[in-house]
Amino acid sequence: EVVKECLTTNNKVFPPFLKYLAVKIMGYDHAMLVFAPHGQYWCDKRKLTMTELLPNSRLEMLKHVRDTKTKLLLKDLHDISIKNGGYVVVEMKGKFAKLTMNIIVRMLAWKRYFGTDTNANEESGRLQRLGRFLLSIGVILRFKCCSVSWLGYVGKMKRTTMEIDRLFSSWVKDH
């Protein structure tokens, strides 16, 4: 109830999203839902997303995707354990990041992102490069102490944005 009230009645209370250069370039000048300032545009896009792209019925229908990907992760961990003779330290942060990305991409675009069930294809590689780049930009934005233009990332962001465009265009064409 509180979340609903925050995102409907009191959405003007939220501060507008900081207008970083990275968000301007890679977020289509703040047009992407996650980067859009709170207001009527944001509310309309969120409503469209929740009713058309991710309604509860679709999430329930695609529950098997989450289950399958989670089972694959557990199988991978089991295989690592067997291969190393039992107890082994495993870095889980990366595994959870890959699991999350696998589930999201599989549910939204019916594509495979990364893992043991993936053929080494161009789209998978593009998604992996995109994920690494967005992670590095996220780290820079988190510290808020330096501008991406000072670090020479503008050209790389523009190239990555073109890759995102090609990727999303291929998904739209497939559907």
pLDDT digits (tens, 9 = 90+) for 102-161: 887 777 766 665 554 444 456 666 676 666 666 665 555 554 444 555 556 677 777 777
Structure confidence at residue 168 (pLDDT): 76
What's the pLDDT score for residue 29? 72
| 64 and 95 assigned to the same domain | yes
Same domain, 140 and 103: no
Q: Are residues 29 and 13 in the same domain?
A: yes
Closest CA to 157 of 23, 1, 35, 60: 23
In our burial notation (b when 16+ CB lie closer than 10 A, e otherwise), range 51-68 reads eeeeeeeeeeebeebeee
What percentage of the chain has pLDDT greater than the value 90?
10
* pLDDT tens-digit series, residues 144-168: 444 555 556 677 777 777 877 787 7
The mean pLDDT of 60-88, rounded to a whole number, is 90
Work out how many domains the chain is built from and give that number. Answer: 3
Mean pLDDT calculated for residue range 45-53: 82
Burial of 11 (0-12, 13-18, 19+ CB in 10 A): middle
Q: Which of 53, 68, 94 is the last residue of a domain?
A: 53
Domain assignment of residue 71, given as a range = 59-118
